[in-house]
Structure 1
Amino acid sequence: MNRRKKHAQLSEFWRRFRKNKAAVLGLILLVLIIGMAVFADLIVPYSKCIEQVGADRLQGPSLKHFFGTDELGRDLFARIVHGSRYSLLIGLATSLMALVVGAILGASAGYFGGVVDNVISRIMDVFMCVPPILLSLAVVAALGTNLRN
């Protein structure tokens, strides 16, 4: 009985999900981006990312270079495909960190209440007042520019 109920809920979810065109488009794009990151080496070799060809500097899009080339003659499509791995890694890592920190702070505020809740709320209010791009720039200025920061 319980298994049947789960199956019915899953099929109902999928039916409603398919009706929402934006959600389906978002799912397709997400699958394409993840596939591009996973199979980056099969799509285009990494050597194309770092190979500098002076004769191909600042070329426009063509069949040889789908997105053109940069000022050093490197293929922009190859750089974007291989860069998608880092973008997904950073997005996943920041989401997980936000989940862990938010859960700990929320659970602490809810469990202890009173002064602890008030202090956590005021600290979060301070962070929420600062625009995210300004906070990001401050972190980069303080810690330096690298993938970990």
Structure 2
Amino acid sequence: MKVNVRVKKAAPEVNLPQYQTDLAAGFDIEAYLGAGDVRPFSRKRSVVIPIGERRLIGTGLHFQLPPDFELQLRPRSGLALKYGITLTNAPATIDADFTSEVKVILENRGNAPFVVEDGMRICQGVIKQVEKAHFTAVDELTETGRGGFGSTGTR
């Protein structure tokens, strides 16, 4: 199933998200550090994330999702393995009624400062359909025998 997602770019040099393979579930999203500054990528801007710190990184992308869909932002496995770069709030949820610029909280859990440059693929996005719940207050729940952390053991 393909879902039509409208995307507004903050500047002409911002790239639309791209799936890297035909069967990929997630599409790559790039950093955009321009904050309204429209210089070409030939003059790269960068942000350093020191060890143990996090930075809010722009993407230059505004998404308009259909009702009952969300955009989930997730870390890229290569950045996590090689450099210890992850998303602090993964998976981040972008609701269908949020149309401001999507920004990513990148965290450096690695052992060296990490440099984010314009156009670097910093996370992946996954479009998911959302199921809405109806909540009912009750006095009792059906007993399941489960409870607390580690209640099922480790083996």
Instruction: Say which structure is richer in helix.
Output: 1
Between 1 and 2, higher relative CO (CA 8 Å, sep ≥ 6) is seen in: 2
Q: TM-score, normalised by structure 2?
A: 0.18
Higher-Rg member (1/2): 1
Instruction: Say which structure is richer in strand.
Output: 2
Q: TM-score, normalised by structure 1?
A: 0.18
